[in-house]
Structure 1
Amino acid sequence: MIELPEIAEVRTVAKTLNKNIVGRKIISIETPYDKIIKSNKKEFINTLINKTLKSVSSYGKWLLFDFGEYTMLSHLRMEGKYFIKPSNEKYDKHEHIIFHLDNSTDLRYHDVRKFGVMILCKTNDIFNLDEISKLGFEPDDEKLTKEYLYNKINKSNKHIKELLLDQSIINGLGNIYVDEVLFASLINPERLGKTISLDECQSIIENSKKIIKKATECGGCTIRSYTSSLGVIGHYQDYLKVHTKANDKCPKCNNKIIKIRVGGRGTYLCTNCQK
């Protein structure tokens, strides 16, 4: 099973890094695999050297490293991770971008698959970036209303699961949490968007908020391809109701949970509860 880190996991990474490296200055940068940097490489390095990190936050699945006038945006994609290590520690072969800090430690970006992305832009321009401007509201954004969601999906012939995975509709949900939200909302993931009622949209939003809140408090899910920085072990996988639970009993009705594919994604549900 390969799952991308979702909003709860990215928030956990931001929280962990925020505690440990804010206030540190970048002394130098090494780029063993610089294709992860999507901005001009020379400008990226020259701009960040001697800059002090003011905060690390997140927006959906993106990490935002705030250096004041400039912000570095980082998307972990499938298997990206950040680690803080002593500068004299030998590099791992999968550590592709190394930020040398002013306290003899490094912030190292580790990515087995090399799918991650880093972008540098002026802080005031973040929401003008194509990668950010096209995103929908986060699950706990007050602007995510049942009317907003209904208007986004009520003419669609796509499955509701595919629609909830669309980052331009809701920003930050991925395969794990969409399965959990649809189970909590008693909605079959193969239902078409145009069949979802306004009340069901409200249920999706309410359950998204609850599940993401709890998952974030738990540090997200620790799964095969994802662990947080500094060995923080998320434990929301202990609270999953259907995702990865094929052939287990449904916690609501004792019917067998099944696994199907929806839009090419492994999908878990109880066909008795989810209509």
Structure 2
Amino acid sequence: MPELPEVETIRRSLEALVVHKTIGDVTVNLPRLIRTPDDVEQFKIMLRQQTIRGVRRRGKFLLLDIGPYTLVSHLRMEGRYGLYQTGEPIAKHTHLIFHFTDGTELRYQDVRQFGTFDLLPENNLSAVPGLRKMGPEPLSGEFTPTVLQQKLKNRTGKIKSLLLDQNLVAGIGNIYADEALFRAGVHPEREAGLLTKAQIERVYRAVVDVLSESVKLGGSSVKSYVNGFGSTGSYQYHLNVYGRKDEPCPNCGTPIKKNRVGGRGTHFCPKCQPAPRSRRSR
């Protein structure tokens, strides 16, 4: 699933490609992707002759401001956008097409068909469950070491699982949780509420640094991710632990291990990220 850096990269590409374009019509080939409104014809009517005013991001969600509405798009596993000329061949698994009045089309493809769309009044985004209680943006001023410490206080869950909790902090997924914890030197199974202030500050700094670096490099194309221009990211060439099971740790040479934390595959260095020796181990 695209995480914050990938979705931010897609946002920037769409901002360059479609802002100020006016929608003449919409083709919906897979109606079940449209959650709101529940009438696909109404979805089309609401979008016709509306102009895209901007493209925003919240966590892993794309927010396209279109006329008086906001289209909330979640790419899930393999959703992708691309801009085409009318008449170009339509690829398999193209489920939505926004036909612009200038003869171009924004097409949404999704092999896994897990993506979702909610078209809502601009100020009614809390109607989307995933947005209602979402935590702070990690690359904004609202996310600080103090905020992270408060959110982890008295929490009994493992730090890896909590970093994936979008209500705690927005946009972090499996790749960047593993990379941040490695950089912070914190084992993914450590109990979050027992981390020291110094450990929390290291986790905070690692999260911000890893996400910032990935955004600069266009995200990680470890599977099928491309931006709106069809280009891949390059941060996958800078990953220290994710996807590198049994390879030597770049810091100490110890083979990277992989286990499961909260049902998610988790990569770490057993030497650089020592496991807790007991419940109150630090």
Whether 1:76 aligns to 2:54 is no
Which residue of structure 1 aligns with residue 201 of structure 2?
202
Distance of 2:225 and 2:170 partners within structure 1: 19
Residues 119-268 of structure 1 aligned to structure 2 (within 5 Å): 119-127=118-126, 129-268=128-267
The DSSP-based 3-state class of the residue aligned with 2:108 is: strand
The DSSP-based 3-state class of the residue aligned with 2:123 is: helix
Which residue of structure 2 aligns with residue 30 of structure 1?
27
Cα contact 1:150–1:197 (8 A) shared by 2:
no
Cα contact 1:22–1:53 (8 A) shared by 2:
yes
Which residue of structure 2 aligns with residue 20 of structure 1?
17
Residues 51-66 of structure 1 aligned to structure 2 (within 5 Å): 51-66=50-65
Distance of 1:148 and 1:127 partners within structure 2: 22
Structure 1 letter corresponding to 2:105: D
Name stretches of at least 5 consecutive residues in structure 1 with no aligned partner. Answer: none
Q: Using the TM superposition, give the Cα deviation of residue 56 of structure 1 relative to its aligned residue in structure 2, in angstroms.
A: 1.2
Which residue of structure 2 aligns with residue 88 of structure 1?
87
Query: Which deviates the most, 166-175 or 43-52?
Result: 43-52
Which residue of structure 1 aligns with residue 5 of structure 2?
8
Q: Which runs of 4+ in 1 moved over 6 A?
A: none
Distance of 2:147 and 2:197 partners within structure 1: 10
Distance of 2:15 and 2:193 partners within structure 1: 41
Cα contact 2:225–2:232 (8 A) shared by 1:
no
Cα contact 1:246–1:268 (8 A) shared by 2:
yes
Structure 2 letter corresponding to 1:155: N
Distance of 1:211 and 1:233 partners within structure 2: 18
Structure 2 letter corresponding to 1:32: N
TM-score calculated relative to the size of structure 1: 0.95
Q: Using the TM superposition, give the Cα deviation of residue 260 of structure 1 relative to its aligned residue in structure 2, in angstroms.
A: 1.2
Q: Using the TM superposition, give the Cα deviation of residue 129 of structure 1 relative to its aligned residue in structure 2, in angstroms.
A: 3.9
Cα contact 2:180–2:203 (8 A) shared by 1:
yes
Structure 2 letter corresponding to 1:143: E
Distance of 2:263 and 2:226 partners within structure 1: 24
Cα contact 1:81–1:229 (8 A) shared by 2:
yes
The DSSP-based 3-state class of the residue aligned with 1:161 is: helix
Structure 2 letter corresponding to 1:65: L
Cα contact 2:118–2:128 (8 A) shared by 1:
no
Structure 2 letter corresponding to 1:49: R
Q: Describe the superposition over 1:89-117 as per-residue Cα deviations: whole angstroms up to 9, x where unpaired.
A: 23223011111111211111100111001
Q: Using the TM superposition, give the Cα deviation of residue 154 of structure 1 relative to its aligned residue in structure 2, in angstroms.
A: 2.8
TM-score calculated relative to the size of structure 2: 0.92
Structure 1 letter corresponding to 2:150: N
